[in-house]
Chains A and B, each alone.
Chain A
Amino acid sequence: MSFEQFIFYLFAAAMLGSAMMVITVRNTVHAALFLALTFFSAAALWLLLEAEFLAITLVLVYVGAVMVLFLFVVMMLDVNLAQLREGFVRLLPVGIVVALLAIGMMAYVVGPGNFGLGKFAEPTGHPADYSNTKELGRVLYTVYVYPFEIAAVILLVAIIAAISLALRKRPLTKHQNPDSQIAVRKKDRLRIVKLEAGTRQPINLEDKR
């Protein structure tokens, strides 16, 4: 077994194992962390394919940002485990059928019929000066420029839609206005009163208002 094969089987096993754990562990925070580990192992496998840009972006976007927000939400939730496990035995036959169906479909689509060595040649190593980042950029901005731009616009629309759904005027809540806070100058808040030593002067607090 070559070194590459060893690395492949190591990370493939880690990926499958952690993917199994995501759906079997009881604690939701543990499940989210296992999902992060799954992404990480997938990134390692992509590195083996010399797709370093995709691999690092997977870590950056999914592990570094998306999963952090996931964890953020999961930690705030109070999940009632007993309620979740209710009816497990009753629904088990249906679950098994759905799972077998899904596995069958996946095996058909991703199996040797569509992705076998007959359809695609065995990947060969690139020369040392090959840059996956450059190649990806070249293809993305020439051949796939329209799909790329359209996907970007769709994402932008999705962001705007999500924000406009969440944005609502809440007249009853009190909040600070940072702009007016920053615009405050010394003379708006502070009045210097000169006091003669030894004499008492009445301070009229009302004269400013």
Chain B
Amino acid sequence: MLDALLTLVIVLLKIVALLVPLMVAVAYLTFAERKIIGYIQGRVGPLHVGPRGWLQPIADAVKLIFKEIIVPAGANRFLFLLAPLLAMGPSIAAWAVMPLGDNLYITDIDAGLLYVLAVTSLSVYGIIIAGWASNSKYALLGALRSAAQVVSYEIAMGFALVGVLLAAGSMNLREIVLSQEGSLLHWFWLPLLPLFVVYFIAGLAETNRAPFDLAEGESEIVAGFHVEYSGMSFGVFFLAEYANMILISMLTSLMFLGGWLSPFQGIPVLESLFSWVPGIVWLLLKTSFFLLLFLWIRATFPRYRYDQLMRLGWKILIPITIAWLLVVGAAVVGGLGPWFDGA
């Protein structure tokens, strides 16, 4: 009994140790977004709260917490307040299986990749329920758009993950990283290059980020599914979106860019020169790169039209992934080096 209690306390501590930095990262990701997009557009971004604007996300959080939560008169009150939690829950639950280093994880389960895919597929519930429960036309339209989009891109995303499965021979995220060991060229981005690109594009669509943010579509449906939300109930949607961005970025770096493996592995002098750097630093650097890509894409590309979005998902990304799965399958069976000759 005491043992079980001790395990519970340790697991809870681990969860806190993961979630607190995650929430801080989410807060500062919003700051980074405003700063980086500002610089890209020749502005300076937030500047006045704290030294060089560094306290801006804290001020935003405080503002959101103290604002009134308005429930529209015709809304389904229970579902209206449940929806933000349903959006937030999956994006946090998926972190349970994320390995941040060789021995740094909350759980290490064999079906890790499948678990992540299943849990992230649940986040669409938050969006549809929010759209329906608000009893608003704009919200319902945004929710329907988002549901169709997420379900469509999940297929391309799932097929891209099948490629990773084939290449690594395991669904365990830790083993996927370890099977990329060797050098920069051993990472899966090279043999799985089309799947890597497709996965990231599908990730953009899954998180409802620009250029696939039709669920929000300010110019046509105001703010889409969260148009009726205010205060912290809106804030939770916001947190979920950014937590999902970090999740997708980290998954991409784990599956295609060797996770916590050093990029200097296998290079004679540099490897020993950089061997003191802990693995988590490399993982966070790679994750930050993809987050930068998220923001960069948002500042660069105009929003897709809805039929273009569906065409891209169904007629371009899914055929590419299926064709490349055959290539990967042949390469694995043929033991193509340097990636697949070990197994």
Cα-based distance from A54 to B119 in the complex (angstroms): 14
In-complex Cβ contact of A72 among B79, B118, B144 (8 A): B144
Determine if B88 is an interface residue (Cβ-Cβ < 8 Å): no
Q: CB-nearest residue of chain A relative to B155? A: A65
Is there an interface contact between A29 and B132, defined as CB atoms closer than 8 Å?
yes
Inside 8 A of B151's CB, which chain A residues have their CB? 65, 68-69
**Interface residues of B, dominant DSSP:** helix
Cα-based distance from A60 to B148 in the complex (angstroms): 16
Is there an interface contact between B154 and A64, defined as CB atoms closer than 8 Å?
yes
Interface-forming stretch among B16-24, B108-116, B237-245? B108-116
Asked if A63 meets B122 with Cβ closer than 8 Å, knowing A71-B147, A72-B128, A72-B144, the reply is: yes
Determine if A164 is an interface residue (Cβ-Cβ < 8 Å): no
Cα-based distance from A36 to B124 in the complex (angstroms): 13
Cα-based distance from A57 to B114 in the complex (angstroms): 8
Cα-based distance from A68 to B151 in the complex (angstroms): 8
Determine if B49 is an interface residue (Cβ-Cβ < 8 Å): no
Is there an interface contact between A64 and B147, defined as CB atoms closer than 8 Å?
no
Cα-based distance from A176 to B109 in the complex (angstroms): 47
Asked if A56 meets B114 with Cβ closer than 8 Å, knowing A29-B132, A65-B121, the reply is: yes
**Interface residues of A, dominant DSSP:** helix
Determine if A178 is an interface residue (Cβ-Cβ < 8 Å): yes
Asked if A3 meets B147 with Cβ closer than 8 Å, knowing A57-B114, A68-B124, A133-B171, the reply is: no
Inside 8 A of A71's CB, which chain B residues have their CB? 128, 132, 147
Is there an interface contact between A131 and B110, defined as CB atoms closer than 8 Å?
yes
Q: CB-nearest residue of chain B relative to A134? A: B110
Asked if A64 meets B122 with Cβ closer than 8 Å, knowing A56-B114, A56-B115, A131-B110, the reply is: yes
Cβ contacts A65-79/B at 8 Å (1 or 0 each)? 100110110011000
Which A positions have Cβ atoms within 8 angstroms of B?
3, 29, 33, 36, 52-53, 56-57, 59-60, 63-65, 68-69, 71-72, 75-76, 131-133, 176, 178
Known pairs A56-B115, A64-B124, A72-B147; list 17 more (Cβ under 8 Å): A3-B4, A29-B79, A29-B132, A33-B129, A36-B125, A59-B121, A60-B117, A65-B121, A65-B151, A68-B128, A68-B147, A69-B147, A71-B132, A71-B147, A75-B143, A132-B111, A178-B311
Q: What are 29 contact pairs spanning A and B, CB under 8 A? A: A3-B4, A29-B79, A29-B132, A36-B125, A52-B111, A53-B111, A56-B114, A56-B115, A56-B118, A59-B118, A59-B121, A59-B122, A63-B121, A64-B118, A64-B122, A65-B151, A65-B154, A68-B125, A68-B128, A71-B128, A71-B132, A72-B147, A75-B128, A75-B131, A75-B132, A75-B140, A132-B111, A133-B110, A176-B307
Inside 8 A of B219's CB, which chain A residues have their CB? none
Inside 8 A of B125's CB, which chain A residues have their CB? 36, 68
Determine if B308 is an interface residue (Cβ-Cβ < 8 Å): yes
Minimum Cβ distance to chain B for residue A125 (Å) = 16
Q: CB-nearest residue of chain A relative to B109? A: A52
Cα-based distance from A60 to B121 in the complex (angstroms): 7
Inside 8 A of B114's CB, which chain A residues have their CB? 53, 56-57, 60, 133
Inside 8 A of B308's CB, which chain A residues have their CB? 178
Cα-based distance from A60 to B118 in the complex (angstroms): 4
Is there an interface contact between A52 and B110, defined as CB atoms closer than 8 Å?
yes
Minimum Cβ distance to chain A for residue B84 (Å) = 16
Inside 8 A of A176's CB, which chain B residues have their CB? 307
Inside 8 A of B115's CB, which chain A residues have their CB? 56
Inside 8 A of B131's CB, which chain A residues have their CB? 75
Inside 8 A of B311's CB, which chain A residues have their CB? 178
Cα-based distance from A71 to B132 in the complex (angstroms): 10
Minimum Cβ distance to chain A for residue B319 (Å) = 15
Interface residues of B in 123-181 (CB under 8 A from A): 124-125, 128-129, 131-132, 140, 143-144, 147-148, 150-151, 154, 171
Inside 8 A of B121's CB, which chain A residues have their CB? 59-60, 63-65
